[in-house]
């Protein structure tokens, strides 16, 4: 029963955010985003997405640097680890 209440509340919040043109962005970085960087990123995302962006900064040292941005099921992977993996793929194919 409690699981249903949590799901209903989560769905309500998502619909409320959608109605108010709020967009949730999950930004994964190796270290916490500095305040100014977070503000600059928020402004750029708001300009691109045309909405009120809320950033949740998750920390994952495995990405080494850069960031991974997740918004509405889309992912932009600009992490250092991703660049290493792409380089590895390129070098092993050529």
**Cβ atoms 59, 30 nearer than 8 A:** yes
Cα–Cα–Cα angle for 43, 44, 49, rounded to 5 degrees? 100
- pLDDT per residue as tens digits for the range 21-39: 899 999 999 999 999 999 9
What percent of the chain is predicted at pLDDT more than 70?
Answer: 98
What domains can be seen in the chain, in order of their start residue?
23-93 (3.40.30)
- pLDDT per residue as tens digits for the range 40-51: 999 999 999 999
Which residue, among 48, 46, 47, 75, has the nearest Cα to 63 in the 3D structure?
Answer: 75
**Cβ atoms 49, 23 nearer than 8 A:** yes
pLDDT at 15 (0 to 100): 83
Cα 11 to Cα 47: distance, rounded to the nearest angstrom: 26
């Amino acid at each position: 029963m409690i699981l249903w209440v949590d799901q209903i509340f989560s769905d309500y919040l998502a619909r409320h955010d959608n109605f108010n043109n709020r967009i949730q962005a999950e930004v994964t970085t190796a270290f916490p985003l500095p305040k100014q960087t977070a503000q600059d990123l928020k402004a750029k995302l708001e300009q691109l997405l045309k909405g009120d962006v809320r950033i949740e900064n998750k920390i994952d040292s495995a990405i080494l640097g850069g960031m991974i941005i997740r918004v509405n099921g889309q992912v932009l992977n600009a992490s250092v680890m991703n660049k290493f993996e792409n380089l590895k793929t390129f070098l092993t194919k050529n």
